[in-house]
A and B are shown apart, each in its own frame.
Chain A
Amino acid sequence: MRKIFSLIILIILALGVYICISEIPFGKPGTAVGNYYIEKGIEETGAVNIVTSIVLNYRGFDTLGEVTILFLASLGLGAILATVQNKTRGVITPPSLILTTACRFLFPFILMFGAYIFLHGHLTPGGGFQGGAIIASGFLLRYLGCPQKRIRQSSFVAIESLGGIAFIIIGLLGFTAGGFFLFNFLPKGVANTLLSAGIIPLIYIAIGLKVGAEMAGIIDTLIEES
């Protein structure tokens, strides 16, 4: 009975959506805000990747909120799973030889690849979040590959908080130097070169490390009691 009832409701919503969507043409937005970013993106922020300039400069406050949410997730996880009494480690099938050697061999490369991505955030597609995620998948491989070598939880927490504080400090520096919070006060440099887009690379390094540490921390908290 519940299935039919929910199907009816969803059909009504689909009808509403259809009428609403038919007014919004697909494929020709031409929005004023979007064109402004594309034209003035490079000379105002110095970053070649316009999406990164939006994420960090134009709408930097969103990303600050974003970083807080990730910090919040790891805190919440710690708070909820910290009170678990049974700390016994479950039996994990010992990893096969191929996995351990691959993990020992691949782990540094994955970290380097992740670092490459968030270092070139303003040049090539990708940035802090994607680099951090790749680093976290590196740590995931480490847990699967060699479970006995564990990283102390507090080091993750330290990196997280430092990353967040670095972001805020850069923002406050912008506030003191340029009068606006998160103002791009460093020189823009030559476009399309590594040290070019003012504060954007600095922030993306902080975010990359922070997201990597946080995601790894989340996975570590979840795995720890298994």
Chain B
Amino acid sequence: MLIQSILIIAFGGAFLTYILGKASSALRDFLAVLISVSLTVLIFLAYGKTGEIAFASFMNLPLVLRINHLSWFFAIAIQTVTTLSVIFSLSYMKGKERVDFYYLMMLLCNSAMLGIVLSGDFVSFYIFWEIMSWSAFLLISYNRGGALYAGMKYIVMSIIGSMCMLIGIMSLYSTYGTLNIREIHDLISTASGEYLLFISILFLAAFGVKSALWPIHVWLPPAHSEAPSPFSAVLSSILIKMGIYGFVLILYVISGAALYLGLGGGSFRYILTLLAAITIIIPTFNALMQDDAKRLLAWSSIAQIGYIILGISIGTSLGLIGGLFHFFNHVAFKALLFLAVGAIEYRTGTRDLNSLGGLIKKMPVTFIAVLAGTFGLIGIPLTNGFVSKWLIYKTLILNNHPFLAFAALVGTWGTILYSYKLIHNIFLGQLPENLEHTKPAPASMKLPFIILSVVIVLFGILPGIPLKLINLITASLGFDLLNINIWGIASESGPLNIINIFAAFAVALIVVWFFFLISGKKVVISQDNSYAAGIDVPKGKYHYTVDFYNPMFRMIKPYFRDYMDEFYSQLVKALASLSDRVRRLYCGDLGVYVIYIVLFLSILVISKIGLNLW
């Protein structure tokens, strides 16, 4: 009964806020926050429950809602991010117009994602999937101008994806007569190899588009940078994770671990991991070249998705745990980074990395938030990113995939480079004149920063809390249990113990602090006391953050143009010219139209007399 109440509150709340929004904006804001928080509490209460309820029927097919550890794990991530971004957008959306339309779409998208995760059969899965797609479309094209093109790109690719999924669902329905995930799981073990391959490829296309796998990632960078910041936080941290949920659903829940490994002679799994590796490398180095903060973060999201899919598609329990845990961590630090960039944009009005700088003094809390976020992103020990990347590296090495491990490593180097670029350009260096009077982020924005930073550090130090739950999930998917203690994994195949890392760090910290104290004398060096090869030092801002990695760009620029994007725009141009030629078929001349009719008749007659087709 709990699942139905969650969905009813979610959808009802969305429409209620829209209606109340017409009345008064304060009431609408309060209601939005109230609904999100109450949903979070409700989902917390549903911890550990498993069950199935048929709540409606559609074309004599029962629509089923079910909850188990996997769906609870995703639901809690969705709900926390949406609650935080709703709280964040209270002040962010203060002055803008059409705000109640924004809240309606935000809450609708959130409830659709909850619906996806909680749905027990493929029809309701598809219905919620479509609602999520077009509500996201309306939000992406919310602030006009460039957003329209981004929205169009997004919606066309996601419709193609959902069409593939529709074919997949329907062929499952036509062969097995039911669409309930549990029943399909039992029936599919008898399926022939290539039928399973056909289904997996279809679903791979659908979920690949949504989770921006390498060849079909083209819609993500413009969509994230054009969407309003609170929504681009939700978009990049959770919406593309629905693709991950779909992957887990198809690869493990439907086909089961054993079948998946043997799929297409193991080649399917290998192709998936290869794609994941490419998704790690190319977007990371694209992120380096971006000047817009949100676009940089968008490219980095694609790269981190590569890590998650890599973890999931390896096929061992350690890898799956690493992948799922990295999913949870990515949600945390990517939401944090996007919200922080949103706060900066809210205060300074711009997010162009070349014109920002020295905000460390003006917005200290945002700086700490971005610092925690980037540490998680890179995977510095004592942050949750470290634990999950450690697990992924461990599985790669154990299952002797040297090239994939090397690709992951190169990806991490790139991550370090662009994270540093992010921090350096925004917070360090000289404060430009026009940013003198920037106030720190408002209180309602600080709250999400603090919560997320605490989550990153806490799960970094005590990884046992989330790992215990993920262990239950992998067990339910058919993998063997690893013994997890509060500090890490104690299994013989890959011991991980945070306590001694924590101790080592603590000792190093004390030693460094001690030397810092001894040195005592602090020499204050003025900003412009730096040797500038003879020419006089310009008074204005001269710390060189513009084109941070210029020499490197010149080297890799020709190889890292986004080939996929150009390929797709060529495709669209070809389609447009084809459609222009096809519509020339109706040339307006009546004589030609009459010839069409009589020609059609004579072709039919010839096909009977001459070729005797019928």
Contact = CB atoms under 8 A, between A and B. Distances in A.
A12 B605 contact: yes
Given A5-B595, A6-B595, A13 B601 contact: yes
Grouping DSSP codes into helix (H, G, I), strand (E, B) and loop, the B interface class, with mixed when no group exceeds half, is helix
Given A6-B598, A9-B598, 20 more contacts: A2-B591, A2-B595, A6-B595, A9-B595, A9-B599, A9-B602, A10-B598, A12-B602, A12-B605, A12-B606, A12-B609, A13-B601, A13-B602, A13-B605, A15-B605, A15-B609, A16-B605, A16-B608, A16-B609, A19-B609
24 contacts: A2-B591, A2-B595, A5-B595, A6-B595, A6-B598, A9-B595, A9-B598, A9-B599, A9-B602, A10-B598, A12-B602, A12-B605, A12-B606, A12-B609, A13-B598, A13-B601, A13-B602, A13-B605, A15-B605, A15-B609, A16-B605, A16-B608, A16-B609, A19-B609
Interface in A1-52: 2, 5-6, 9-10, 12-13, 15-16, 19
Report which residue of A5, A16, A19 has the largest number of chain B beta carbons within 10 angstroms of its beta carbon. A16
The 5 closest A-B pairs by CB, nearest first: A16-B605, A12-B602, A9-B602, A9-B598, A12-B606
Most buried by B among A2, A10, A12: A12
Nearest to B606: A12
Chain B interface size range: 10 to 19
Nearest to B591: A2
Contacts of B601: 13
Nearest to B598: A9
Main secondary structure of the interface of A (DSSP, over half): helix
A13 B603 CA distance: 9
Nearest to A9: B602
Contacts of B595: 2, 5-6, 9
A19 B591 CA distance: 28
A10 B606 CA distance: 12
Contacts of B606: 12
Contacts of B609: 12, 15-16, 19
A9 B606 CA distance: 10
B591 to A, nearest CB: 7
A94 B526 CA distance: 113
A206 to B, nearest CB: 38
A130 B74 CA distance: 82
B347 to A, nearest CB: 65
Interface in A31-77: none
Interface in B402-433: none
A15 B609 CA distance: 9
Contacts of A10: 598
Contacts of B591: 2
Contacts of A12: 602, 605-606, 609
Contacts of B599: 9
A6 B595 CA distance: 8
Nearest to A8: B602
Contacts of A19: 609
Interface string A105-118: 00000000000000
